[in-house]
Structure 1
Amino acid sequence: MADAPLADLHWSRGYTDPAWIRRYTSAGRELLPSRRVWRGTAPARSLPTDTAGIDQLTITAPDGRALTLQDLYAAARTDALLVMHRGTVVYEKYLYELEPHDAHFNASAAKSYLGLLAATLAHQGVIDRAATATKYVPELAGTAFGGSTVDHLLHMGTHVAYAGRPFDKPVEAQRYHAVIAPPLRPYGYSGPTSIREHLATARATAAPGTEFRYENGNVEALAEILRRVTGTTTSALLSEMIWSRIGADEDAYYVLDSEGVEAACGGFSATARDVARLGELIRCGGAIADRQIVPSAVAAAIPDAPDGYAQHVRFPAAPPSAPANLSYHDYWWILNDPYGSFMASGIHGQRLFISPELETVIVHYGSQVMSPVAPVAPLVPAFQQIGVHLQRTR
């Protein structure tokens, strides 16, 4: 099975069925139980708008093709694209009946938001990056995560196999989805039905820190650590530390497993405008006007991949022939481009792109099919070229 193409897997519907993907990304609360991330009581912070004239911008793909934004939308199955430059919304587009007030799944981009919480709590001394997970969650003893440090978890540094089977990234991703989403379970499914049960089947196959291995269990183990040390849910923690303080328009939400635990690695949904507010907060050093919300040292450290971890990695869905020219830090992808750019990334085209040098924040929501026969859209080159265009023309 490990060598089978994803489209042949008998539980690959969550990746390859276009109708399911769009329904899941845009209407998750109708399919699964959820918990809100409260926006608080403060008025929504207004977003200034301006027209930047990028509708006719031509994007050059890595293979030399010239793409219009409409071509990009088709390739990426775009649901929303929002571009901010110097704090002003200069472009905003919604497709497939998505509205500005609609929450959309962020998929694995949510990992980065949890990483932001963890990095902040570490900066405050609430958790210790060098401590093992069992210090905070004794029940993780004996699993692949129990002997890993917080820092190992934050950098995908565990080497894990589940239930004795060989590790295969696409298969394990789908098995995780089956844990939290009963509609994605194949006929006769008898595996774990909660995140806790799933983590309990994980066993280490090499020492922590041996290599970079992108895997959802790291995030869920870390989320449980944060819940234990703060005594609150992931939803309430994100609300308290960030969401209620950025002037969000809408509540966000997490989907829940059968035990009422948030799917922290990818079950988060929010509007594009509110995710753009989060991106702008980070671009501005963790501050909104004169209010410091995220410590400036935490925001500044995001692009700094630490020594001891792989400096050159590739996206999880990238083919083996793709260049390994990214870095990874605290669940953020570091692009190593000339502009200091980094981003949160989700499997179906969800992106929060932040470029300090280009003074640009871009939110992209998509419902792209993941299949060997569906080429990945060149989103990052498009974001970089949009940012360069804005710097030259505004």
Structure 2
Amino acid sequence: MTETAPLSDLLWTRGYTDPAWIRRFTSVGRELSPTRRVWRGPDRPRDLPARPASLDAPDLDTLPIELDGGSATITLPDLFAAAQTDAFLVMHRGSVVYETYLHGTTPHTPHFNASAAKSYIGLMAAMLAHQGLLERDARTSAYVPELAGTAFGEARIEDLLHMGTQVCYAGRTFDKAIEAQRYFAVIAPQLRPFGYSGPTTIREHLLTARTTGKPGSEFRYENGNVETLAEVLRRITGLTTSDLLGELLWSRIGAEEDAYYILDSDGIEAACGGFSATARDVARLGEMLRCGGAVGGRQVVPEEVATTVVSGVPEGYPRRVRFPAAPPTSPATLSYHDLWWIPNDPYGSYMASGIHGQRLFVSPGLDLVVVHFGSQVISSAVPVAPLAQAFVRIGVHLGSLG
């Protein structure tokens, strides 16, 4: 049973302590805010083949998933209950071996990806850098002159890609939880408190950022890095974020459905987390990456970009970090490169991760792609579901079947 969140959480979560409220937000964004579509392109959807019945794996619902070094186990139904799972899809060696939808979600329901969408921005930036259109060592202000003198304008593109800026907004002491709420207030008028007088667009918000430390010296997970990077990509290409994602990725992976971004009052996409798509189409994106950036023999992402996510952390940036919500006393075991999380497991896995349990897990070594969409409560009173552990356990098990 989910425990009641402490009052300290309620000061900023404002409804995120109720899975039903979260689920409404994650599944019907187009009904709550202005949006812009990410076009799937003119081609027919690419099939997601199911594994032939003769090769079906044993029921994954009964697979024991070890926790805490084997001191306890759970099953997938237990995991789904803990994570308030809405959609779960597993691909192994190019075939769908498990797919389920809960709480009214369907295969055709675009679901909020939250901060997993940061990784898609990072992927596009890496592609443009590979093409020579984006200079990683350049200051952001070289592309967005209006940001000169701000924390993000003085940072390098590499700093944005590795959450390396040290900022405060409008003179406030930086607090991640408070700044997350203030960001929501910028893009969603309905979330603004009475008497709100702060920025009303993403660009206005970025202009209030000031430097509090040397860029690249510390890992600090902050939405402004991604919004700044998205603005840089718009300046380079002349395209909206939606059109750029559609052109570079969505129209080339064989997507079934259009995706979409929510917009601020300037008509600018909330790039750091306002993206929604179906689980099946996110799985197509992951499968393309698992295959070295190729779809059916056509190279979508340069192979060098697709195969160096786990090996490209630049010198000078922290080699080990922890999730933003992790206790400060927990071990830092993850790496972070081009806005992707790297578990540092033996299989070359990497992951796009978002609040409420949104995950795209790609593991070339396990021939595995997993998509998880959830509506999990974010509170210190609610344990974090062990999603990544479950993904690896599933992959190892499937691999053992031959």
Task: Map 1:191-340; keep pairs closer than 5 Å.
Answer: 191-304=198-311, 305-340=313-348
Q: What residue in structure 2 maps to residue 56 of structure 1?
A: 62
Q: What residue in structure 1 maps to residue 369 of structure 2?
A: 361
C-alpha RMSD of the superposition: 1.4
Moved more, 178-187 or 329-338: 178-187
TM-score if structure 2 supplies the norm length? Answer: 0.95
Which residue identity is paired with 2:134?
I
Tell me: CA distance 1:6–1:230, structure 2 relative to 1, closer, same or farther (3 Å).
Answer: farther
Residue 249 of structure 1: CA displacement? Answer: 0.3
Instruction: State the secondary structure of the residue aligned to 1:308.
Output: coil
Q: Deviations over 1:12-48 (max 9, x none)?
A: 2253232321111111111011000000000000111
Give the whole-Å Cα distance in 2 for the aligned partners of 1:275 and 1:194. Answer: 28
Give the whole-Å Cα distance in 2 for the aligned partners of 1:189 and 1:72. Answer: 39
Structure 1 position 46 matched with structure 2 position 52: no
Give the whole-Å Cα distance in 2 for the aligned partners of 1:170 and 1:388. Answer: 36
Question: How many residues in Structure 1 have an aligned counterpart in Structure 2?
Answer: 391
Instruction: State the secondary structure of the residue aligned to 2:25.
Output: helix
Which residue identity is paired with 2:42?
T
Structure 1 position 371 matched with structure 2 position 379: yes
Q: What residue in structure 1 maps to residue 28 of structure 2?
A: 27
Question: What stretches of structure 2 of length at least 5 have no aligned partner?
Answer: 1-5
Which residue identity is paired with 1:18?
P
Give the whole-Å Cα distance in 1 for the aligned partners of 2:7 and 2:250. Answer: 36
Q: What residue in structure 2 maps to residue 97 of structure 1?
A: 104
Instruction: State the secondary structure of the residue aligned to 2:186.
Output: helix
Runs (4 or more) in structure 1 with deviation over 6 Å come to none
Q: What residue in structure 2 maps to residue 117 of structure 1?
A: 124
Contact 2:119 2:340 in 1 (8 A): yes
Q: Deviations over 1:292-346 (max 9, x none)?
A: 0100000011111222111110001111122101000000001101111110000
Residue 54 of structure 1: CA displacement? Answer: 1.1
Moved more, 63-72 or 262-271: 63-72
Residue 9 of structure 1: CA displacement? Answer: 4.8
Moved more, 301-310 or 259-268: 301-310
Tell me: CA distance 1:6–1:296, structure 2 relative to 1, closer, same or farther (3 Å).
Answer: farther
Give the whole-Å Cα distance in 1 for the aligned partners of 2:339 and 2:177. Answer: 19
Give the whole-Å Cα distance in 2 for the aligned partners of 1:20 and 1:273. Answer: 24
Contact 1:109 1:346 in 2 (8 A): yes
Residue 267 of structure 1: CA displacement? Answer: 0.3
Moved more, 52-61 or 10-19: 10-19
Q: What residue in structure 2 maps to residue 186 of structure 1?
A: 193
Instruction: State the secondary structure of the residue aligned to 1:250.
Output: coil
Residue 6 of structure 1: CA displacement? Answer: 7.5
Instruction: State the secondary structure of the residue aligned to 1:263.
Output: coil
Residue 210 of structure 1: CA displacement? Answer: 1.6
Q: Determine what percentage of the aligned residue pairs are the same residue.
A: 68
TM-score if structure 1 supplies the norm length? Answer: 0.97
Q: What residue in structure 1 maps to residue 171 of structure 2?
A: 164
Q: Deviations over 1:344-366 (max 9, x none)?
A: 00011000001111000000000
Contact 2:10 2:17 in 1 (8 A): no
Residue 79 of structure 1: CA displacement? Answer: 0.4
Q: What residue in structure 2 maps to residue 342 of structure 1?
A: 350
Moved more, 210-219 or 174-183: 174-183
Tell me: CA distance 1:34–1:318, structure 2 relative to 1, closer, same or farther (3 Å).
Answer: same
Contact 2:140 2:156 in 1 (8 A): yes
Q: Give 2:391's match in structure 1, choosing from 374, 383, 386.
A: 383
Residue 62 of structure 1: CA displacement? Answer: 2.4
Which residue identity is paired with 1:324?
A
Tell me: CA distance 1:217–1:307, structure 2 relative to 1, closer, same or farther (3 Å).
Answer: same
Instruction: State the secondary structure of the residue aligned to 1:280.
Output: helix
